[in-house]
Amino acid sequence: MVKAGVSRHWMMNLSKLKLTYKLSMQDPNSGFTIDPSQVTGEIAEQGQISIIITRKPGKVKEDKMLIEYSGEIKGRTLVRVVPIE
């Protein structure tokens, strides 16, 4: 059993273009949540933002977080999220 926990991560935009992003967990029943105020937003040119990911208590399995970005640059990235005690 894993305890609940919170972790902060940084997302950086290394380009000279503004990025609009959307975050989501791949599994709709994920043991991880993203702060609702951070699910969508913008990152300034060569800027950064912090993201808060919360782990629910109990048996949590590995998941993947999808980062979709659009604007002047478009794409998507899949990040592995693993519960650690």
Regarding pTM above 0.75, the answer is: yes
CATH of the domain at 27: 2.60.40.10
Query: Whole-angstrom Cα distance, residue 67 to residue 57?
Result: 24
Domain region containing 53: 5-81
Q: Is the pLDDT of residue 73 over 80?
A: yes
Question: For the chain, what is the domain count?
Answer: 1
Q: Is the pLDDT of residue 53 over 80?
A: yes
**Residue environment code for 13-25, b if the CB has 16+ CB neighbours within 10 A, otherwise e:** beeeeebebebeb
What is the reported pLDDT for 63?
94
Quick one: pLDDT band at residue 3, thresholds 50, 70, 90? Answer: confident
CA dihedral over 50, 3, 84, 59, signed as positive or negative: negative
